[in-house]
Structure formats: structure tokens, C-alpha cells
Structure 1
Amino acid sequence: MARAGWAPPRLDEFILTERLGTGTYATVYKAYRKKNTREVVAVKCVSKRSLNRVSVENLLTEIEILKTIRHPHIVELKDFQWDSDHIYLIMEFCAGGDLSHFIRMRRILPEKVARIFLQQLACALKFLHDHNISHLDLKPQNILLSAPENPQLKLADFGFAQYMSPWDEKHVLRGSPLYMAPEMVCCQQYDARVDLWSVGVILYEALFGRPPFASRSFAELEEKIRSDRVIELPSRPRLSPECRDLLQRLLERDPLKRISFEQFFAHPFVDMEHMPSPESLGKATSLVVEAVKKDQEGDVSAALSLYCKALEYFVPALHYESDARRKEAIRAKVGQYISRAEELKALVMCDSKSLLRQANPAREILKEMAKDKPRLCAALEMASAAIAKEEEGKDDGDTLELYQQSLGELLLILAAEPAGRRRELLHAEIQALMARAEYLKDQIKMREAQSMGKEALAESVRSSCTLQ
């Protein structure tokens, strides 16, 4: 309830109850609509006396933006009213609190949880970007969660938001220092890319439990942000290469080198294509129809690939579905497809490994011809090490990385190699190694898809048991 001596304002259609938060210009209350539905809302009360010219402009922009946009991951402005003392923004109520509290309660978020939230944030930012809107105050406190269980992220507080085309440049200081891009802190011209820096700080905080520039004073914070040192990522917890790559590209101090919006939305860690959505089940189903057809035709390799692609959509479909009966039906189907994919995988591996393990006499000749070329020798040794690891059954990311390193070297050597027998053999060897690397990459991807499917099944079973 509201604190004694701090009575909430009166609003004709609503009963204002507990205070949810207080800012410089506004206080937010939980409220109930008096008539009919007893709908729960959040009412943002802005005191007119606290407003100066700039804050009035910001408030008008916030109302204008929120009245014209509707998106599942942006908090909804239902209405606004005013009286002689206050302006009231009647907002969608989010019972899960904010992301800052969610992170503090858990200390750090597992990468897969952070990824789901990031996908939802990216979805909201894509919508804003398509409408030339920059938020300019992205931070965990401005990201609300729809409910305590299975929360949906809702981007809120558009008090600093601006209509900005990607090429527009501003110089007014906006936002919160901990999440503010270096070009803004340094009072330089900045553009919409400042939002991407803030996303990087939020993701860092979610994964490591603190922002990258945690400081005891504003002066210390400013010094750290202004520094030109590369931001080092902690070694623990261990993150996937895609996640580390995205963090480093978001937290690039130079905005010209920072990841662009288009690159961010297309990044494999963000993977907006496979985020839980109403379309996930339809995409999965159409791929399964193709997979079954190929399976019946005896095209084992194509069927396996399609089953695995379908699983990449079934997993988000399971996350998205809230109806218990439909969820159970999806779960049963996913179990069947995982089993069939495992049977097909055994057949494909048997055929492919026998082909790849055939002796390659040309490789031995090439090694003999490379004895006067230390760099070529070293690259071929690296390739042999990758082949040996794979044939020992170590078909993992480390083996794939060895293949990729050796191929990188061999391609550079090939570019400088004059025409002749050695160049022909080197070219053939590169093609053979590329085939092996592609095969290994497919195996890893298929294994990940099956693993994701099994994990989603287990998680879905656990959550349904908890609900019963």
C-alpha cells in the first residue's frame, strides 16, 4: 500500500494503491479501474510543478511515441489524462517487476535465459528502428517483465526517446551514466548506435552480475568510459563463442566500428529467426512435412537435415505455447522427431565416415613436396591433427576450429603458390578438407538441434509437473 503521509493522487476512473517507483519527474502507482473489469494498470503521475521546458518536450514525445506504437515487447500506453496538478499516463501493468530486480535476485542469468530476453529486446528495438525511434535510456530498470513466471520482456520509460533516422546526430546528454555510450559521455555527436552500446552493457550485466564499469563515484565511472582500453570479458562463466563475439562487438567504444543495427538483428546469437513467436509452430510443421516426404523417398541426408531444422523451430514453439494440452501435443511430436533424427543420423554417419576415411595418396605426395616450405608443412600438420581428432571420435568445436585454422593458412598459401603440380595438389587438398569441415559442422549443428529438442522436452515436462 502507499506509505503513510504519502497519499496517491485521486483519479476519477481508478483506485491508486501501492507505489511502484519514483523518478525525477514522476511517481508510478499500481491502480485498479473502478468499473466493470477491475482491470489492473500502472499509472505514471507527473507533477506539473516539477516540469521545465525540456521535460515537457520529453513528456509530449513519450506520449506521442507510445500512443502510435503497439508491440508485444513494448509496454502499452492505454490512455493519458490530466488535472490542475498532474499529468497521468495509464500504462499496462507488468507484475514481474523490472529486469534489474530479476538479475539481482538470481545474481547472474544463464546464457540461454539471457538469450531469450535479448531476443525479445531485439524484437522491440527492430520495431523501433523500423519506425526511426531511438530509446536513448536503455537499462535494466526500464525493462519490465510481464509476470513472475515465464515472463515476457516489455520495454518501458520512453521519457528520453526521440524520432531519429540512422543518420541523425544529437549532442544532448540523455540516459543513465552506467549504460551511456562513450560518445555520449564525451559530449560528442552521437546517433542511434548509442542504443546498441546500452544493449551490450545490459547483456554483460545479465551474464556477469554487474555492469562493465561498476564504479564508486561518477568521476571514476567517467574515467573508465572515456578510456580507450578494450573491454575484457571475464573468463567465468564460460560463454559460447557467438555470445562473446556479440558482446565484444556491442561494447566497441568507436561507434563507427560498433556492430550496426542490421548486423545486430542478423547476429547468430540474437537469432531472431528462431525466437519463440506465434509463427514458430507453423514453420516447424512445414519443415517436418518436407522431412517426412524426403524420408519416404529414401533421401536420408536431406530428411535428417530437415528434421533438425524443424527442431530449431519446435523448441521456441514449446517455449511460446502456454496452453497445457497443446504443449503436451507438441512435446509428443518433438519426441518422435528426435528419435527418427537419431536413427537417420546413425545411417548418414556410417555412409559419410566411410567416404571421408578413404585413403588420400595425394595428401602424402603433397607433404613430400612441402618439405622446403615450413609454413605449408605446419598448415598440413594442423590439418592432419584435425583429421586424427575427428577419427578418434572427437567431432566437436575444437576439432572444427583446427580445420578452420588450417584452411585459413592453406588458402593464403594457395594464393601465393605458382602454377604447377604442387598448386594442383594443394587445391585438391583444400577442397577435401573443406568437405570434412562442412561435414563436421553439420554434425555439430544436428547434435545441437537434437540436444536443444531434448532439453526443451525435459524443461517442459519439469514445468508442467511444477504447475500440477
Structure 2
Amino acid sequence: MAGSGWAPPRLDGFILTERLGTGTYATVYKAYRKRDTREVVAIKCVSKRSLNRASVENLLTEIEILKTIRHPHIVELKDFQWDSDHIYLIMEFCAGGDLSRFIRMRRILPEKVARVFLQQLACALKFLHDHNISHLDLKPQNILLSTPENPQLKLADFGFAQYMSPWDEKHVLRGSPLYMAPEMVCRQQYDARVDLWSVGVILYEALFGRPPFASRSFAELEEKIRSDRAVELPSRPLLSPECRDLLGQLLERDPLKRISFERFFAHPFVDMEHVPGPESLCKATDLVVEAVKKDQEGDASAALSLYCKALEYFVPALHYESDARRKEAIRAKVGQYISRAEELKALVTSSSKKLLQRENPARELLKEMAKDKPRLCAALEMASAAIAKEEEGKDDGDTLELYQRSLGELLLLLAGELRWVLQGHPSCAGC
């Protein structure tokens, strides 16, 4: 009964130990290579007796897809073997369990944590999208975490995945009903956008602790999914406008109105430009060098802009860095940059009226900084309102305050985010 999990099957070159999970036709075990390295792997053991024609096709597609792709946020297929009873997929081992367990242990995830995971999932989906691959079974149980501490998200289980161009349409029921797009549940034709609905359900569950259509029975679930009512977002916990906007666009029942992949990857909440990665520190350092140069030249406004842009890359650099000593060194440097940026903000604010006059280059810099940041756009509109009041001769005591509030907004946002990191709060892993 090897496939049932009572005793692991034997596989040359490996020692199979504890069972990690079981599915319809496969059991996954933790295993060690017998070689000197004693590498830890996960082995998906598929019992040949349990396979029907559809599951054989799914398994072959999974092997074909995983064999050809390598990505830091997709579980790696290292090898596959077979004997008379089983087919074995030798996979990268992820010690952090799955996202479902991670959410359950914490009840809900803070928005900052959910956002880091969403960014990593978006990176994996961008890679798949560029290769015309649709996962078709996105759910927290199929999203693994590399380690218990400072985990990296790894997309797994490509058993339902398909090579699908954006214009391909299918009508076969695939995936898990709780995370399944309405058009798939209703057995209508569907395309790659079903994955975006599933991303919305996963994000909703991470933020609110349960999926939007949590139900006591399949009949109740099906009724909720088939409903025409828009998906309502709970008022608590409080979320940023960007986060709520993305959730609303992902959980759009009509696939023609749902956010597209291109708009999803470009959405300010996903912010793929600032995903933690090996380039984050290089980009931050380059901007700081420019900021220091402008600072030395006495161009306070340009220096402030560059320091702030650098800080936007230092936050993901801190998330990405795993070496404790390097992390501490980055934190110390960032503390200095925040202090200097605050000094520059005071300098810029003190001459705020002059800086925000029309046609002033500093104002154009601020506009550039505000791109894709709704709160900052609002701050600049506030400044424009102050200018309009001045031009109409209504220069009362509120006008200067409007200038100051608008100029202070960027640094408040960035400094708030950085202090959260700098004060020793855990990164996404420890929340």
C-alpha cells in the first residue's frame, strides 16, 4: 500500500521519510539523497494504479511544464523517475509549509505582508504569462513557503496547468471550487483570466482570514458564486485605497470587465518595480549616489526627490537581504538617509510657496515622484488648490498649511514604511 502513505515506497538513491501531503492520485514525502550532500527534497509519488486517462494527461503536462521552467518563485522539478508501480517527481523541498497554514496560524495577514507575497506571486505569474502558461488551480494550498523564517513564496502543483495563449478558451472544469472563477463554475468558456480571479480570492483570504465565498456546503457555495451581486469587501481591517481597488478589479465576476494581466502587473499595489530582489540594493545605491551629488551642489529639492526614490528601493532590499550583518549595515545607512531627507524636507518646506509656483522645476519633480501614488497626487492637488486661493486673493492662514502638508506627504509615507522595517519589526515572515 505504498501509494496510500502507510509506508513510503523505495526509490534508488533516496531515503523517503515523513509524508508531507496526499492527493487524489499522489502522495508527497520528504526525502534525502543518499549522496554526500544529503540534499533534502520532496518526492511526489504517483501510483500508476490510481491513474485514469485524464490524470495521465495532467501528469505529463505537469512534467513537461516544470521540466522547461526555472524561476525563483516556482517550485523546481529536479528530476523524475518511474518503476513498475510508481512515477516519482523529485521536487525542491519547501520547509515553510503552505500559505494556507501560514494564514491559518496568524488568522489574518497585515497588508504589508500580504503585499510582499502578492508581489512574489505576481513575479511567478508574469513568468508563466510570458510563456503562455495558465496554472488553473491557484489556491493557498498550492503556494509553498521556502523556509519558516523570511520565506520566499513558491508556486507549486501544476497538475491542472495548460499551455494557453491569452485568446485560447476552454470549458473543462478544473481547480478547487472556493478559488474557481465564476465562468468556470458555471461551465462557460473561460480563458487565462481565471487565474486573476483566483489571485483575488487568495489576497482576500490573506487580508480577511477567509475566502469571499466560504460556505457550509457545495450547494451554498455554488449559489454564492453564480449570484450577480458584486463581491463586498469587509470594512475591517482598514486597507489602503490601492489594495481595495486591486481587490475590486480582481474579483470582478464578468471576465470581460476583470483586470487584464497587463494592468494587474502594472497596478500600483502590485508595484513590480519595487519587488524585493538582488537588484534592489544596486538601484537604491545608484540613486543615493545621485542624491548626495545634488545635495553637495545645493539642489535640495532634487536631492530630496532622489533620496525618496532611493528609499523606495531600500525597503525591498532590506526584505530581500538574508545576512544579518549586511542587513544591519543597510539599516544603519538608511537611518542616515532618512535623517538627511527630513532635513531637506524642512529646507524645501520653508520655501514651499516659491517651490510650488507654476513652471517651477521642483514642482515637476514632485509630479514625477507622485506617479502611480494616489495619496501623493492628492497632495499635489492640495498644493494647486492653495495656489488657486492665492491667485484669487484669498491668501488666508490655511494656504501655507496646505503647501506644507502637500510637500510633507511623500516623506511621511516613505519614512513610515522604513521606520516599520528599521525599528526591528519582522519582515513578512515573522508577522
Q: Pick the TM interval, shorter chain.
A: 0.7 to 0.9
Is the CA contact 1:15–1:31 (under 8 Å) kept in the aligned structure 2? Answer: yes
SS class of match (1:221): helix
Distance 1:3 1:360, change over 3 A: closer
Structure 1 residue 425 displacement after superposition: 47
| 1:316 counterpart SS class | helix
Matches within 5 A, 1:430-445: none
Query: What is the deviation of 1:360?
Result: 18
Task: Tell me if structure 2 keeps the 8 A contact 1:2–1:18.
Answer: no
Q: What residue number does 1:455 align with?
A: none
Deviates more, 1:394-403 or 1:168-177: 394-403
Conservation of the 8 A alpha-carbon contact between 2:301 and 2:362? no
Conserved 8 A contact 1:138-1:179: yes
**Structure 1 unaligned regions, length at least 5:** 418-422, 427-463
In structure 2, relative to structure 1, the CA distance for the partners of 1:186 and 1:350 (3 Å cut) is same
Matched residues, percent identical?
A: 91
Return 5+ residue gaps in structure 2 as ranges.
none
Q: Deviations over 1:54-83 (max 9, x none)?
A: 110110000000010000000000000001
Is the Cα–Cα contact under 8 Å of residues 366 and 425 in structure 1 kept in the other structure? no
Measured against aligned partners, the alpha-carbon deviations of 1:280-328 in whole angstroms (never above 9, x if no partner) come to 0110011111111111111111110000000000111111111222222
Give 1:353 deviation, angstroms.
Answer: 3.8
Name the CA shift for 1:391/1:172 in 2 (closer, same or farther; >3 Å): farther
After superposition, the C-alpha distances for 1:162-182 in whole angstroms (9 at most, x for unaligned) are 000101111100000000000
Q: Which one is further off, 389-398 or 317-326?
A: 389-398
Q: 1:381 to 1:334 in 2, by over 3 A?
A: closer
Cα deviation for residue 329 of structure 1 reads 2.0
Quickly say closer, same or farther: Cα 1:269–1:396, change in 2 above 3 A: farther
CA drift of 1:154 comes to: 0.2
Count of residues in Structure 1 that have an aligned counterpart in Structure 2: 426
Structure 1 residues 84 and 320, CA gap change in structure 2 (3 angstroms)? same
1:386/1:208 Cα in 2 relative to 1: closer, same or farther (>3 Å)?
Answer: farther
Q: What CA deviation, in whole Å up to 9, does each residue of 1:240-264 have, x standing for no partner?
A: 0000000000000000100000000
**Structure 1 residues 354 and 169, CA gap change in structure 2 (3 angstroms):** same
Cα gap change, 1:424 to 1:339, in 2 (>3 Å): closer
- Which range moved further: 101-110 or 313-322? 313-322
Question: Equivalent residue of 1:3, what SS?
Answer: helix
Q: Structure 1 length as normaliser, TM-score?
A: 0.77
Question: Secondary structure of 2:2's match?
Answer: coil
Give the 3 Å change call, closer, same or farther, for CA 76–308 of structure 1 in structure 2: same
Bigger Rg, structure 1 or 2: 1
Q: Is the 8 A contact 1:376 1:413 kept in 2?
A: no
Hey, what's the Cα distance between the residues in 2 that align with 1:13 and 1:27? 19
CA spacing shift, 1:407–1:290, aligned 2, 3 Å:
closer
Change (3 A) 1:304 1:396: farther
Q: CA RMSD in A?
A: 9.7
Residues of 1 paired with 2:413 and 2:303: CA distance?
Answer: 38
Q: What SS does the corresponding residue of 2:91 show, helix, strand or coil?
A: strand
Work out the CA distance in 1 between the residues paired with 2:338 and 2:368: 46
Equivalence for 2:145: 145
Secondary structure of 1:169's match?
coil
**Secondary structure of the structure 1 residue equivalent to 2:343:** helix
What do residues 191-249 of structure 1 show as CA deviations (whole Å, max 9, x unaligned)?
00000000000000000000000001111101101111011100000000000000000
Q: Distance in 1 between matches of 2:345 and 2:230?
A: 43
Q: Is the 8 A contact 1:278 1:317 kept in 2?
A: yes
Going from structure 1 to structure 2, the CA distance change for 1:151 and 1:384 (only over 3 Å counts) comes to: closer
Q: 1:394 to 1:112 in 2, by over 3 A?
A: farther
1:383–1:55 Cα change, 3 Å: same
1:236, 1:65 → 2: CA distance?
40
Q: Which moved more, 1:196-205 or 1:51-60?
A: 51-60
SS of structure 1 residue aligned to 2:3: coil
Q: Return closer, same or farther for 1:145/1:391 CA change in 2, 3 Å cut-off.
A: farther
Are residues 256 and 369 of structure 1, via their aligned partners in 2, closer, same or farther at CA, if it must alter by over 3 Å? closer
What is aligned with 2:421? 425
- Is 236-245 or 361-370 further displaced after alignment? 361-370
Asked if structure 1 preserves the Cα contact closer than 8 Å seen for 2:285 and 2:310, the reply is yes
* Cα-to-partner distance string for 1:379-410 (whole Å, 9 max, x where unaligned): 99999998999999999999999999999999
Q: Which has the higher contact order (CA 8 A, sep 6+)?
A: 2
C-alpha distance 47-304 of structure 1, shift in aligned 2 (>3 A): same
8 Å Cα contact 1:29/1:43 also seen in 2? yes
- Over 3 Å counting, the alpha-carbon distance change for 1:326 and 1:2 in structure 2 is farther
In structure 2, C-alpha distance between the alignment counterparts of 1:380 and 1:187, rounded to whole Å: 48
The residue number in structure 2 matching 1:204 is 204
Cα distance, 1:399–1:73 mapped onto 2, change above 3 Å = farther
Q: C-alpha displacement at 1:39, in angstroms?
A: 0.7
